[in-house]
Amino acid sequence: GKNEYDLLVIGGGSGGLACAKEAAQFGRKVAVLDYVEPSPQGTKWGLGGTCVNVGCIPKKLMHQAALLGSALKDAQHYGWNIAQPVHHTWSVMAQAVQNYVKSLNWGHRVQLQDKKVKYFNMKGSFSDPHTIRGLTKAGKETVVTAENIVIATGGRPKYPTHIAGALEYGITSDDLFWLKESPGKTLTPFVFNVSLECAGFLTGLGLDTTVMMRSIPLRGFDQQMASLVTEHMESYGTKFLKKCFPTKVEKLESNRLQVTWKNTDLGTEETDSFNTVMWAVGRAPDTKTLNLETVGVKTNSETGKIIVDASEATSVPHIYAVGDITEGRPELTPTAIAAGKLLARRLFGQSSELMDYDNVPTTVFTPLEYGCVGLSEEAAVQCYGSDNIEVYHAYYKPLEFTVAERDATQCYMKMVCLREREQRILGLHFIGPNAGEVIQGFALGIKCGATYPQLMKTIGIHPTCAEEITKLHITKRSGLDATVTGC
């Protein structure tokens, strides 16, 4: 029989919605299935996926709330008279953030409607390569068939279920952004960017926050930059328990949580109590209930992510995947969106353009932000050898920090270039205010193959932090002091 839809997208997040809306532009019959399995703590949310509901958006807004706390301190140096002490009320912020997120959920539904994309608030699973069985919350079943199916179900935070009490008493980022009341004294064990970002803004909002890490922070990122980020957080007030890992979580009579952990350095066992324990041990692809085995979609045995080729195709014809669920791709909203759009154009728009995953810029929104594009120094050394790369670097002080008397010790940037020939720029790393805004523009240059001489010809905008990038000239190799001094 004929398939009902030209395209069925399972997962209404960044990748899924972008793909569906693009396909609809070509006049195709498109449907989207989106369903949020409540978190173990019972948190759930509307259409839009992780980014909108429990990721990028609320994270950045709470990060902004924390930054504004710093701004209040700075403001006094700039002449604003604010009576101390200043208080932060979590519920006011949470309400405002949650309201905004809900407006986005609404906006997405309206957009799908406008573009004539059918939306099912149902959990989908494969019956066969062209048939999806959808189940509503109430248990009502609907069968949907489609010529092409795109899996964009994303991921969910993992729980360290081997730790006693972890599941019962801990929360994850899925819950943090929807808490109505302050999390209070918080522990975030393990260290992925999510946990550093959350620990960062919690500290900025005045909460007693501790990060526990077994080994290195921000795995996969340039480690020198990762250290500067955590160093700054330490001076900012976040507590770090290094070389430690938790062994159990128990609930006390006061409703506080007692956490026990091992310190691998000292070989001791320690304990302390917290109001909240937020796990950030990584995210697992949301494929459990999809029934992928039935249709033969291959996944990576280690990560569980769906294996796709350069055109986002899975091992089964007419079944594709985009976003966080795919193996070997960056877990970022903009790449999911771009991949989803390009996929739709290839399927329905006679395009043959493939997604380019190289040189994707990204930013970690810790209290002192870290933006980067291209290779880390380690990756460059591994790829080309340390003799063949040149690293230009500089410590700088944002002008705005001067009058505010703020410590700029970790404000740092570095650029990794090839040493030979045109000296192509391989990677750019920047720690400082508005890192995302700074790196975005340079990403275009790197995409176009910018070279060090070209950068030197680029005149900076004064006075900004970004201009310091155009002035990079001290190499690590020279061993000279890399502190920027005046104009």
b or e along 381-419 (b: 16 or more beta carbons within 10 Å of the residue's beta carbon)?
beebeeeebbbbbbbbbbeebeebebebebbbbbbbbbb
Question: Which of 3, 26, 40, 75 forms a contact with other proteins (CB under 8 A)?
Answer: 75
Q: Which is nearer to other proteins, 33 or 466 (CB)?
A: 466
- How many C-beta atoms lie closer than 10 Å to residue 479's C-beta? 8
CB 214 within 8 A of CB 245: yes
Dist CA 164 CA 151 (whole Å): 34
Cβ-based nearer residue to other proteins, 92 or 383: 92
Q: How far is the CB of 462 from other proteins (least distance, A)?
A: 5
Residues 123, 125, 127, 129, Cα dihedral to 10°: 120
Q: Which stretch binds other proteins (CB under 8 A): 13-21, 83-91, 282-290, 348-356?
A: 83-91
Quick check: 297 and 291 in contact, CB under 8 A? Answer: no
Phi, psi of 123 (to 5 degrees): -95, 125
**Closest CB to other proteins among 206 and 282?**
206
Quick one: CA dihedral 213, 438, 54, 307, positive or negative? negative
Of positions 3, 29, 44, 71, contacts other proteins by CB under 8 A: 71
Is residue 181 at the binding interface for other proteins, with CB under 8 A as the rule? no
In angstroms, the CA 328 to CA 356 distance is 13
16 marked as binding residue = no
- CB–CB of 256/275 below 8 Å? yes
Q: How far is the CB of 106 from other proteins (least distance, A)?
A: 14
The one segment of 24-32, 151-159, 410-418, 453-461 that binds other proteins by CB under 8 A: 453-461
- Does 107 sit near other proteins (CB under 8 A)? no
Q: Of 462-481, which residues contact other proteins (CB under 8 A)?
A: 462-464, 467, 470
Question: Which of the residues 41 through 60 are near other proteins (CB under 8 A)?
Answer: 57, 60
Report, as residue numbers or ranges, the catalytic residues: 462
The CB-of-254 to other proteins minimum distance in angstroms stands at 25
Provide the annotated binding site for FAD: 60, 124, 324
Instruction: Write out the residues near other proteins by the rule CB under 8 A.
Output: 57, 60-61, 64-65, 68-69, 71-72, 74-75, 77-83, 86-94, 96-97, 100, 205, 399-400, 402-403, 457-464, 467, 470, 485-487
